[in-house]
Homo-oligomer: A and B are copies of this chain.
Amino acid sequence: MPEKNRQIFLVETPAGKLQESHFEMRTGDIPAPQDGQVQVRNLLLSLDAANRAWMQGDTYRKGVGAGDAMDGYGIGVVTQSESDRFAAGDIVGAAVGWQDYSVHKAHRLEKLPADVKPLSHLISLYGIAGKTAYHGLVQVGRPKEGETVLVSAAAGSVGMFVGQIARNLGCRTIGLAGGPEKCAWVTDTLGFDACIDYKNEPYRRRIAELAPDGVDIYFDNVGGAVLEAALFNMAMKGRIVCCGAISQYDTTEMTSPRGVPGIHVFKRLRMEGFIVMDFADRDAEAVRDMGRWFRDGKMVVEEDILDGLENAPRGLIGLLAGDNRGKRMIRVAPDPA
């Protein structure tokens, strides 16, 4: 166990692309819990495109600005508890931040099952990525058997699950991913029916070819020009699930999809945004279905784990550039034995 707490700060608000120089690692004392608080040894940090969106200002949560400690969801093990709701050794999930240790009021922590192996599945399959995919597709998109589901960032943390869930629900699945290797993996390993290489193919035309009757559900992780291409290929009564807009986060240049709202009217589209927490009351359903599919061999879980807290800035920057395949995380400390 370290004797000091390393913590990563955002020292400059990025204008344009995020760079490692925008961050700084500082070392301080390990924070001690007060009455009602819990000290956590952080194990795994979830890297998410939303981390970058927070730097653009207040969104669904307070923004992260220059001088702030970098925040982020993660899981950890309780090392010291001043609350009767938690005991040392408990596995918990929380906004642990980019640091070795974190201290939380007990009600800000979620107790997680300690017997999941590996614990990283609490971030991917059963965690923020899997639940986002499940709730977005099932509760917001409301797929019907036989429908065509298009997913952007299909090799990414959420997209990989969306396509597999859709397939397990009897839908036709088309992915969008960057580069031939990712596309081959999306079809061959994840089992999507097709995958379009948006970096090298005329994707608007390819969507039209692959979905001649239109796209019933477009699960949007990227926004921008790809959203526009999907919009012009939606089927009547189609649904656009707005999960994220990664193309709009690491830039100061916003691109707005044409066709809004004309196409919404004449195609009767529903375009709806959500955050995974909105459906917390249905998490059990997500965990049940995802677990069953996984055990039945119907759900591939790909994790892209970088070792070491110090690699969090680089890991996030790479994620924004599309370097990852599957759910990207930072390993801060090994799973407890």
Interface flag for A280 (CB, 8 Å): no
Asked if A223 and B260 sit within 8 Å, CB to CB, the answer is yes
Does A21 reach chain B (CB closer than 8 Å)?
A: no
Alpha-carbon distance between A232 and B259 when the two chains are bound, in angstroms: 18
> How far, in whole Å, are A60 and B258 apart by their CA atoms in the complex?
18
Please tell me if the beta carbons of B265 and A275 are within 8 angstroms of each other in the complex: yes
Chain B residue with Cβ nearest A61? B266
A267 to B273, CA, bound (A): 7
User: Which residues of chain B are near A47, meaning CB under 8 Å?
Assistant: none
A135 to chain B, nearest CB (A): 12
- Chain B positions within 8 Å of A227 at CB level: 260-261
Instruction: Give the residues in chain B near A254, CB-CB below 8 Å.
Output: 258-259, 262
Chain B residues positioned under 8 Å from A264 (CB to CB): 242, 271-273
Which residues in chain A, 217-273, are within 8 Å of chain B measured between CB atoms? 220, 223, 227, 240, 242-245, 248, 254, 256-273
Query: Are B258 and A273 neighbours in the complex by a CB distance under 8 Å?
Result: no
Which one of B59, B261, B269 lies within 8 Å of A245 (CB-CB)? B261
**Are the CB atoms of A261 and B60 closer together than 8 Å?**
no
A271 touches B270 (CB 8 A): yes
- B275 pairs with A220, CB closer than 8 A: no
Q: Of all chain B residues, which has the CB nearest A265? A: B273
Contact partner of A270 (CB less than 8 A), chosen from B223, B244, B261, B270, is B270
> Are A262 and B248 in contact, CB atoms less than 8 angstroms apart?
yes
**CB-CB nearest in chain B for A268:** B273
Q: How far is the CA of A108 from the CA of B69 in the complex (A)?
A: 66
A265 to B59 Cα, complex, angstroms: 9
On chain B, the residues within 8 Å of A265 by CB distance are 59-60, 242-245, 273-275
Cβ distance A245 to chain B, nearest Cβ, rounded Å: 5
Q: Is A84 on the interface with B (CB-CB < 8 A)?
A: no
A278 on the B face (CB < 8 A): yes
Partner of A260, one of B260, B269, B270: B260
In the bound complex, how far is the Cα of B59 from the Cα of A98, in angstroms?
50
Q: Which residue of B lies closest to A239 (CB)?
A: B272
Q: A261-B271, A268-B273, A270-B273 are in contact. List 17 more A-B contacts (CB 8 A).
A: A53-B262, A59-B262, A59-B266, A60-B265, A220-B261, A242-B261, A242-B265, A244-B265, A245-B261, A248-B262, A256-B257, A260-B260, A264-B273, A265-B274, A265-B275, A268-B272, A268-B275
15 example contacts (A-B, Cβ-Cβ < 8 A) are as follows A60-B267, A223-B262, A227-B260, A242-B264, A242-B265, A245-B265, A254-B258, A257-B261, A264-B272, A264-B273, A265-B275, A266-B275, A268-B272, A270-B273, A271-B272
Residue positions of A touching B, CB distance < 8 A: 53, 59-60, 220, 223, 227, 240, 242-245, 248, 254, 256-275, 278
